[in-house]
Amino acid sequence: MAGRAPRGRPAAPRRGSAAPRFAIVAARFNERITKRLVDGAAGAFASHGVPASRVDVYWVPGSFELPQAAEHLARTRRYAAIVCVGVVIRGQTPHFEHVAREAASGIQRVALGTGVPATFGVVTALSEEQAWDRAGGEAGNRGEEAAEAAVEMAEFVARVAKRGQTP
């Protein structure tokens, strides 16, 4: 059953050099669908008051490479959070499970290992139709949801750092 991530409290936008910067890492495999996820993520950032000039988009070959790129970006300490988007479709490859699993666990490992939130906007679908549904169709947009999560997690990290305690 398709579900959507619940929306969190919107982060108050900050202006100037203190305003947070975000990265979107996008997998080129199934590029036409992934572009919709990038658009969804960019739209969510805009709706939270994050200007496009503070969102950098990076493309990598496939979802397997998403954690590698996210790790490099996280280590720069330039980003408040990193959104990873990609599309993995079963049937296109016998290594669907490997790609999907490594993308998911690798992205989580980046977040836990660096302390920079890295969110999962990877569509894992049984067919191309299902993938479109999750990229701005009937079942929402995983890129948008991952950007929403990134804004909320960036806000969480900033609050904890400011107060020195869990809010």
Among 41, 42, 99, 150, binds ligand INI (CB under 6 A): 99
For residues 36 and 138, the answer to whether their CB atoms sit within 8 Å is no
Least distance (Å) from ligand INI to the CB of residue 67? 11
Residue nearest to ligand INI (CB): 62
Determine, following the binding rule CB under 6 A, whether residue 143 of this chain makes contact with ligand INI. no
Choosing from 11, 20, 26, 29, the residue that interacts with ligand INI (CB under 6 A) is: 29
Residue 86 interacts with ligand INI (CB under 6 A): yes or no: yes
Question: In 98-150, at which residue ranges do the beta strands (DSSP E only) sit?
Answer: 118-125, 135-137, 140-141
- Which are the contacts of 135, defined by CB distance < 8 A and separation ≥ 6? 33, 34, 36, 37, 40, 87, 123, 141, 142, 143
Sign, CA dihedral 96-24-34-72, equals negative
Active site residues: 95
Nearest distance in Å: CB 161, ligand INI: 33
62 binds ligand INI (CB under 6 A): yes
Residue 80 touching ligand INI (CB under 6 A): no
